[in-house]
Amino acid sequence: MIKQIMIGVITCGMLAGFSSVGAASQTDGPAVSVHHEWGKLKEVVIGRGEGLRMPGYSKYVDFIYDPKYLETMKKYGGLDAIEIEPELSKRVIAQIDNLAAVLEKHGVKVHRPTLLNPLQSKYLDYVQKGRMQLYARDPMLVIGNQIFETALKVPMRAKERFGLRPILREMVEKRGANLVAMPMPDPGFPEDGIYIEGGDVQLNGYEIYVGDSGRASSKAGRDWLQKQLGPKYKVIGVPLDPAWEHLDCVLALLRPGLGIIYRKGFKGPLPKAIRDWDYVEVTLEEAKKLAANALVLDETTCIIDAQHQRVIKELRKRGHKVIEVPYDAVATWGGAFRCSYHPLIRESVLK
């Protein structure tokens, strides 16, 4: 049932009361530092699978869910997923916890969000019921040495920021990071609102690519981000087929010159700087299973769902190392590896 609802969306959420899981001590280097999609990954936030609740129906989310699942959402929205599909829910928790363990094994410092408390869990329930904290990518954004708390277009995901705030305050208070929160959306979640979702944003030095499907990040959001970053950066909108919610559903930048792509997911050409790269092209069926949603460990290594054997083989032909990790259960909620983590420190050089 979860798979039916969530795959209906072809997808990949100063502060008080903070504590950090796996909190880092003060460092000599930058508080946060991410300049590219590649470079050695040093520190991340990984989502968590506990506490999943089914997405509820609301007229404000008609744009994102397949109409044939709306009745199911009306019936089960707001109910605990562990009660409806216990075995699948247990696998979701196990798989995302395993991802955290794999990263720690490779020397990456891992932070996890705190679970939402009962009051936080009810935030905006009058607009849309539901709860998840799987995808740390979307409710925050690290560009250069700056942290942004983003604004998401799906009402039930607005509450995800509360579980991340302990980690963000750790960065602010102990490391001196600069944190800026985007304006919260109007409760009616209008089409012309200011939205930026991390799954839409990919970094290539001073070029910042932002997906534009009409279902997530908005032009107003891109304009806001451009003003925050200043003239040294160029925020570039990338038009997407509306069937695909986020840019990282159809594009991965693994290292300079190499990526994964579902070309039919785009409504126009890629940005010039990445247009002539060598891409492993995925099929529609592979893209629906999020084969382009990879986690980059460094410029030679990435993590991909073990089910995508053809894509893995093609990457290895190109001399790229691939770590295979099962992730099919997490993907039933609409996102895979890139959706599940957000880098805080990545060793990439910005000239």
Confirm if 41 and 108 have CB atoms less than 8 A apart: yes
Angle 39-206-15 from CA coordinates, rounded to 5°? 80
Give the global pTM. 0.91
Sheet bearing 146-149, strands edge to edge: 140-143, 146-149, 178-181
Ramachandran bin of 49, using left for φ above 0, alpha for ψ from -120 to 50, beta for the remaining angles: alpha
Dihedral angle sign, alpha carbons of residues 159, 90, 11, 165: positive
Q: What pLDDT digit, counting tens, does each position of 285-329 carry?
A: 999 999 999 999 999 999 999 999 999 999 999 999 999 999 999
Low-confidence ranges of the chain (pLDDT < 50): 3-4, 7-27
Q: How many CB atoms lie within 10 A of CB 275?
A: 8
Residue ranges making up the domain that contains 104: 2-12+14-347
- What CATH number should be reported for the domain holding residue 252? 3.75.10.10
Neighbour-count burial of 277, counting CB atoms closer than 10 A to its CB (0-12 exposed, 13-18 middle, 19+ buried)? middle
What is the predicted pLDDT for the residue at 63? 67
What is the predicted pLDDT for the residue at 6? 52
C-alpha distances in angstroms, 182 versus 158, 225, 228, 261?
12, 9, 10, 30
What is the predicted pLDDT for the residue at 244? 94
Task: Give the count of domains, the chain.
Answer: 1
What is the predicted pLDDT for the residue at 188? 85
Task: Give the largest Cα separation in the chain, rounded.
Answer: 54
Confirm if 41 and 346 have CB atoms less than 8 A apart: yes
Strands (E), 81-231: 109-111, 131-133, 140-143, 146-149, 178-181, 201-204, 207-212
Confirm if 134 and 340 have CB atoms less than 8 A apart: yes
Which residues are CB-contacts of 178 (< 8 A; sequence separation ≥ 6)?
Answer: 31, 145, 146, 147, 172
d(C-alpha 124, C-alpha 158), whole Å = 8
What is the predicted pLDDT for the residue at 29? 65
DSSP bridge partners of 325: 305
